[in-house]
Structure 1
Amino acid sequence: MAPSLTEQRDEVLRLLADDTYSGDMDELLARADQITGQIEQAQQRDARLRALQAAALPDAPQGTGTRVQPGQQPDDGNHPAVSAAEAFVRSKALEHYRASGMVGKVAVEHRDAPAGTTSTATPLKQNQRQPGVIPQNPDYPLLIANLLDRQTSDGTTLEYMRDVSGPVTGAGTWNKAAVVPEGTNKPMSGPFQFDLITTSLKTVAHWVPITRQAADDNGQLVGYINGRLTYGLDFKMDREILTGNGTTQMQGILTTPGLNAYQPGSGNTDAKLITIRKARTVQELALYPPDAVVLNPSDWQDIELDTTATGEFRVIANVQDAGGPPRIWGLTVVSTVAMAAGTALMGGFRMGATLWERQGVTILMSDSHADFFIANTLVILAERRANLAVHTPAAFTKVTFQALP
């Protein structure tokens, strides 16, 4: 059977990202342009189809071109929702709530679909999963949360073992594996030291007001939920993942003791891109190869705009992978204001920490707030419960850039 358009796209993406590819690059780029055109054509066809369905006459029989509201098909199991907003507007709970005159409250919880789940629906926002590329919403920046191992918790208390043995300076410091003569005792590797960490899952939440008229319009409702509520939760959780205090907030990576550190010595004039490369060596010597680096946008700007004496950009010529998400020295780059300027966080994020989530994004809507009922106004609230287990601090390195004159 001929490969699907998605399979063709993924194959070309893999080859474009492969630094060792030795085939005909012009032919590969031509394939990429052809597939891009076919995808755009398919998207235009779907858009025309939806527009034609929406233009059906008011007296059209059920199931023969009736208008499909934003949010797409109902959640009947054949067309599962792919976002919290879609799950909410498709839910039977919202249907009953509207039928009752939108009095009282309604709540719907949505969890992300497992990797590999497919849908025949035409989603409003589709997360693209590409080999070797961390999935992300194409409308929003890459999130730090997407770098981590993510698991589901069934309780409210989180317990895990944290390796506090400290950074490893070489295999010989703990790995006592050896060739052992027959009849002699085998060596014990170590020492290792672990602490039992007990904490709780934290609730991240916020709400916005919405008029009854807007709440009765699926398009506006999806916009409120996707554009303000769920993105706001992701925005805040990213900051918690970096700098949460671990008590009243989530556990942050930077506030966890035991991280590696790298800072150029006094008088060092290394450019920031050189500092990142040397920090990578520090992380590799700790025996936890890094896969990503988190930077403040101003520091990432300095790296991207670094030029030679003749005005040539170093990043594009030497260390930046073309045609994919931002990368430097083989590491995925997350540029975010959550990271303080002048510093960076490098690490093996999937090896070093796990994001435990007890509750997916839950959307609640109610008229029972202050005087909103008489003002014909409702409240939409979004919340999720999660916490970060930084079980291997040595998998991360905090980088401090040298201030240059």
Structure 2
Amino acid sequence: MPTTVDNARLKELNSALRTKAAELDTISTAFTVEDGGVTVSTEKAAAFRKALADAQEIKQLITDLEGAAAIQTFLNEPASSPLAPRDAALTAHLAGQSAKSLGERFIDSSEFKSLAAAGFRGSFDQIVTIEGSGLHQLARKDVFSRSAGTAAVLGLGTPEQLEMVPRPLRPGRIRDLFPSETTTANILYGVRVTGFTNGAAVVPERAMEVPAGGGAAVEVYARAPQSQLTFKTVLYPVAEIAHTMPIHKNTLADEPRLRGIIDTELVDGVKMVEDNEILYGPGGDDSITGIVNTQGVQTYAQDAADKQTAAIRRAATRAVLANYPPTGIVLHPFDFEDLELETDGQGAYRVAVNVAIGAQKIVWRLAVVDSMAINEGKFLVGSFGLGARLYDREQVGVQVSTENRDNFERGVVTMRGSERIGLEVPRPESFVYGTFKAAA
């Protein structure tokens, strides 16, 4: 069957892509960073570019082969089927694929089904890469490294496994305010402007100047005044956020609970720390520097006579004065509640119209993310995506293995969720970290 051939070819291409990725990592270790600059030999740079081009070509071949397999599957359907229902079914199938969560893609993968069919016996040390979009901004590439023991089946009739009620995901993500950016580097570096003196002025075509030694003024072509720009090179580490979770091997066969564990506990756990790091990361060699802790970010305190909405608007003006119109706001849920419950002089809610029509969370034309990551009583307004950029080096992934301490003896597997991100803040003055006044 074409699908069998395609699957075999896809595995070969995935193996080749992993080899190229390892080659890129090996070559990149030869790069040296000194005084904010990167030093690399001509040979290493050429080898890196060639390996990168090869990897991109292999990746495109994988994408093309997957598309060809989908066409073959469509053409192999019975010819007697009406075309309209067939097209509708295919569209619905593709839509469902794009909307699947990370856990659902793991459960529906052919590799997991093979494990389940074998009773989770044996050792599985291969890396399986699942690519695609529509993971609710959780990941673009999900990598699973699996190894499991033997699952026992009790002969006590046919039990029914009940669906686990998952913990709800945190509703707001600070990364939602950023445009999508990716990187293949292990460290980021850029230039941060620290000062600008604007000397621009109207320049006449000719001007009268007195010679340095004195004497009568002579006509010369006018000289434009000089402006001054100061900047410094800044390094931005790519940090890993990860955690592990021990799970009994029998849970691998319990699909609903496994899906809930992956989607809520492992993935959401990484994302909660991601939110905290984007705001308050301490910085250093292995940790990103959060926006709030970046030198040069402006601050603003709510005036006693103003309401919260007015404080946000005045803080936004500070960003505008820095020539960076803000694009978003981060608020604590309690503070956003207070803001939505603000009333005018007649007791009417100021933002009731937006709430009533189910509009997006917007205040003063700015997108709002209400997140528990930000301290209560504080808010951050700024130019997300321009004044700061978030880069994904490795988007969230899940790995599963028994090769951890005494897992095999205890019948336990270890699940590991992780991601690698970098945060660049080239224009800290485009952000304003505000403080609401304390309630009376």
TM range (shorter): 0.5 to 0.7
Aligned mate of 2:312, from 264, 272, 276: 276
Separation of aligned partners in 1, 2:355 and 2:107: 41
Residues 314/104 of structure 1: CA separation in 2 closer, same or farther (3 Å cut): same
CA contact (8 A) 1:361 1:384 kept: yes
Paired residues in the alignment total 305
Is 2:235 the partner of 1:198?
Answer: yes
Q: State the partner residue of 2:154.
A: none
Kindly indicate whether the alpha-carbon contact (under 8 Å) linking 1:320 and 1:329 is maintained by their aligned counterparts in 2: no
Q: Match of 2:184?
A: 154
Over residues 88-121 of structure 1, what are the superposed CA-to-partner deviations in whole Å (9 max), with x where a residue is unaligned?
A: 33445545655461536565556663xxxxxxxx
Q: Secondary structure at the match of 1:158?
A: strand
For structure 2, list consecutive stretches of 5 or more residues without a partner in the other structure.
Answer: 1-76, 79-93, 139-167, 207-220
User: 2:107 is aligned with what amino acid?
Assistant: V
- 1:142 and 2:172 are equivalent in the alignment: yes
C-alpha distance after superposition, 1:347-396 (max 9, x if no partner): 01111111122112221111122333233221111111112111111111
After superposition, the Cα gap between the structure-2 partners of 1:320 and 1:292, relative to the gap in structure 1 and judged at 3 Å, is farther
Contact 1:110 1:361 in 2 (8 A): no
Query: What amino acid maps onto 1:148 in structure 2?
Result: F
The residue identity in structure 2 corresponding to 1:85 is G
In structure 2, give the amino acid aligned to 1:290.
Answer: P
Does the 8 Å CA contact 1:106/1:365 hold for their aligned counterparts? no
Contact 1:151 1:357 in 2 (8 A): yes
1:38-88 alpha-carbon deviations (Å, 9 max, x no partner): xxxxxxxxxxxxxxxxxxxxxxxxx99xxxxxxxxxxx9x96785433443
Which residue does 2:362 correspond to in 1?
327
In structure 2, what is the equivalent of residue 251 of structure 1? Answer: 289
Partner in structure 1 of residue 415 of structure 2? 380
TM-score (structure 1 length as normaliser): 0.66
Q: Alignment partner of 1:146: what SS?
A: helix
Q: 1:176 to 1:102 in 2, by over 3 A?
A: farther
| SS of residue paired to 1:151 | coil
Residue identity opposite 2:198 in structure 1: W
For residues 235-314 of structure 1, the aligned pairs below 5 Å read 235-247=272-284, 248-265=286-303, 268-314=304-350
Choose from 211, 227, 230 the match for 2:248.
211
Cα distance per residue 1:274-330 (max 9 Å; x no partner): 11111122221221111111111221111111123442212225x879432211111
Aligned-pair Cα RMSD in Å? 3.5
Aligned letter for 2:363? Answer: I
Structure 2 residue matching 1:351: 3-state secondary structure: coil
Residue 255 of structure 1 deviates from its aligned partner by 0.3
Pair 1:227–1:139, CA change in 2 (3 A): closer
Please say if residues 153 and 356 of structure 1, whose CA atoms lie closer than 8 Å, have aligned partners that are also in contact: yes
Deviation per CA, 1:166-198: give whole Å up to 9, x if none. 8xxxxxx5372756638644555x432222112
SS in 1 for 2:408: coil
- Unpaired segments of 5 or more residues in structure 1? 1-62, 65-75, 114-122, 129-137, 167-172
Q: Distance in 2 between matches of 1:234 and 1:399?
A: 24
Match of 1:85 in 2: 103
Letter in 1 for 2:187: T
Structure 1 313/81 Cα, relative in aligned 2: closer, same or farther at 3 Å? closer
Deviation of 1:162 (Å)? 1.8
The 1-side partners of 2:356 and 2:204 are apart by 46
Distance 1:387 1:97 in 2: 35
State which structure, 1 or 2, has the greater radius of gyration over its C-alpha atoms: 2
Please report the TM-score for the alignment, with normalisation by the length of structure 2: 0.61
Kindly provide the amino acid, as one letter, of the partner of residue 313 in structure 2. Answer: R
How many angstroms apart in 2 are the aligned matches of 1:105 and 1:148? Answer: 36
Partner Cα separation in structure 2 for residue 236 and residue 187 of structure 1: 49
Matching residue of 1:174: 198
In structure 2, the CA distance between the partners of 1:387 and 1:277, relative to structure 1 (3 Å rule), is: same
1:229 matched to 2:249: no
> Greater relative contact order (Cα 8 A, min sep 6): structure 1 or 2?
1
- Identity among equivalent positions (%) equals 29
Aligned-partner Cα distance in 1 for 2:204–2:180: 40
Preserved contact between residue 237 and residue 287 of structure 2 (Cα < 8 Å): no
- Mapping of residues 315-394 of structure 1, within 5 Å: 315-316=351-352, 322-394=357-429
What is the Cα deviation at residue 212 of structure 1? 2.0
Contact 1:106–1:364 (8 Å) recurs in 2: no
Match of 2:181, SS state, is strand
Matched residue type, 2:401 = S
SS of alignment partner, residue 180 of structure 2: strand
Distance 1:364 1:177 in 2: 61
Q: Which has the higher helix share?
A: 2
- Aligned partners of 1:96, 1:229: CA distance in 2, in Å? 23
**SS at the partner of 1:314?**
coil
